[in-house]
Structure 1
Amino acid sequence: MSEFKQTLNSSLGKKLLMALTGLFLCTFIIVHLAGNLFLFKDDEGFGFNVYANFLTHFPPIEVIAYLLYFCILLHALYGLILTIKNRKARPVRYASEPKSPASWSSKNMGLLGAILFFFIVVHMGDFWYKYKFTHSVGFKQYSTDLSTNETLAMDYTPKTPDFEHSVTNEFGHEIIRVKDLHAVVSNSFHNIWYVIIYVIAMIALSYHLLHGFQSAFQTLGWTHRKYSPVVKFIGTWLFAVIIPVGFALMPIVYFFCR
């Protein structure tokens, strides 16, 4: 047991945990982006609000969510520790710095991580905290005619203060009442400063993943001349380009087009 603790407390152990938690977070952002694509639907927030309600009321998802929060904190903490340790080991900067994007990102993972952690705190405070723990989020009612599949949206005022959500069938209509997180998102995405912060964070995410995804495989020893190019391709195009661009387009589209 003592050897296991020593391994975890060593630089190698911290790097291993950074790699494992990082890959878990990479999996999460794929799912998160897929769910947030509902924001692009012109359905008055129906798909997104139902998706958000599912995430916060399905017990297995809630368990995974708390594991996610733990991984974010652990990844950030160990990232900070390793950054400080590396700076102490090399207090004098190189006279000449490599100019490739990958090299720049690898040397600034601490800065990129700090930007992302700040963004996550702001992001969760603006959406997750308000949704889960305050009464500042309104409600929306969606009435779907089961014969025509047409949906009518309207604001809804709960009759009891502890109301969370409901699904009923009334006279051939499916009535869904949920918290209107979409309105909160739309309001934030019409704030130019929030849009700027969001886009900057996605640029930081791009550079962070450009180095971090490939580095995680190297740390875990999962390298092979046959598969390493595939890992590099996925890390570059999926995680450093497609995912950050997908997230960044959300506030941009809302600010200029919605």
Structure 2
Amino acid sequence: MSSFMKSSIGKKFFMSVTGLFLITFICVHLSLNLLLIVDDSGDLFNMAAHFMATNPLIKIMEPVLALGFLVHIIWSFVITLENKKARPVTYNSGDKVLSPIAPSKNMLILGGMVLVFLVMHIANFWWKFKISHEGLTAVHVMQAGVNVEMENAYALVAGFFKASSLYCIIYMVGAVLLGLHISHGFWSAFQTIGWNNKIWLKRLEVIARIFAWLIALGFAIIPLYFMIKF
């Protein structure tokens, strides 16, 4: 097993698995964030954020998620460096999506940009939710007939979007970069784990592009909503 994990295919396999795991998290995260534009009172978003913060299973998964991000990022650099050493001369990729910045040719660059976006997101939201609690106030929400006190996560997130058009634009750019990264990574992950026959590979490429742009549009529409409405 250890020799498999040290091999090039083993590293790619594990990076593919962590990538699919992170895509699952992104879907959950997007579903929660879309509540920001569904209910302007903030109650739905606050209840969802409160559930995520207090659910024991979510608390267990948080360090697993963090480890998944670290492994995925570190191994992407390792694999890219190994590929460059093995093949110093680049080859023509078959990926025709925005050819000058084709995801298959620039996964490391796109991943680095997504990482910058992730760091900004952690600094502005996660850190305040979990560590400093800066700007967080309490709010009472009726939940199953019970008046529950919880942090007003909606006020913090919505307030940030309302106050900074620049951050809204950066957030939308980050969403597009995330979509580009996923558009190649999604089908490539399935190819690595064995779904690599010609029929399914073509189907997965189409599904990946549709899925990636739905993710990109889903995240981008949130700051756009606040820019237009407020």
- TM-score over 0.5 (shorter chain): yes
The alpha carbon displacement at 1:61 in A equals 1.1
Structure 1: where are the runs of 5+ without partners?
Answer: 145-166
CA distance in 1, matches of 2:198, 2:218: 30
Deviation at 1:125, TM superposition (A): 1.8
Q: Does 1:5 align with 2:20?
A: no
Pairwise CA distance, 1:225: 4.9
Q: Matched residues, percent identical?
A: 36
User: Corresponding residue for 1:125?
Assistant: 123
From the superposition, tell whether residues 8 and 129 of structure 1 become closer, same or farther in structure 2 (CA, over 3 Å): same
Larger RCO (CA within 8 A; separation ≥ 6): 2
Of 182, 195, 199, which aligns to 2:172? 199
Give 1:101's match in structure 2, choosing from 85, 97, 109. 97
Inter-partner Cα distance in structure 2 for 1:211 and 1:232 = 8
Structure with the greater alpha carbon radius of gyration: 1
> Is residue 60 from structure 1 mapped to residue 32 from structure 2 by the alignment?
no
2:84 maps to what in 1? 87
| Change over 3 Å in CA distance of 1:196–1:177 after alignment to 2 | same
- Report how many aligned residue pairs link the two structures: 227
User: What is the Cα deviation at residue 224 of structure 1?
Assistant: 4.1
Distance (whole Å) between structure 2 residues aligned to residue 195 and residue 109 of structure 1 = 24
Quick check: which one's strand share is greater? 1
> Is 2:186 the partner of 1:232?
no
CA apart distance, 1:47: 0.8
- State the shift of 1:179 in Å: 0.9
Does the CA contact (< 8 Å) of 1:189 and 1:252 recur in 2? no
* 2:181 corresponds to: 208
Which amino acid counterpart does residue 63 of structure 1 have in structure 2?
I
Residues 1:255 and 2:219 are matched in the alignment: no
In structure 1, the partner of 2:218 is: 246
| SS of alignment partner, residue 103 of structure 2 | helix
Contact map agreement 2:36 2:158 (CA 8 A) in 1: no
Alpha-carbon distance between aligned partners in 1 of 2:25 and 2:131, rounded to the nearest angstrom: 23
Letter matched to residue 208 of structure 2? G
Which of the residues 176, 191, 198 maps onto 1:218?
A: 191
How high is the TM-score relative to the length of structure 2? 0.89
Question: Alpha carbons of 1:224 and 1:100: their partners in 2 closer, same or farther (altered >3 Å)?
Answer: closer
Q: CA RMSD of the aligned region, Å?
A: 2.3
Cα distance in 2 between the residues matched to 1:92 and 1:222: 28
Q: Deviations over 1:171-210 (max 9, x none)?
A: xx63222111212212321312212221121111111111
**SS in structure 1 opposite 2:135?**
coil
SS for the counterpart of 2:41 is coil
- Structure with greater helix percent: 2
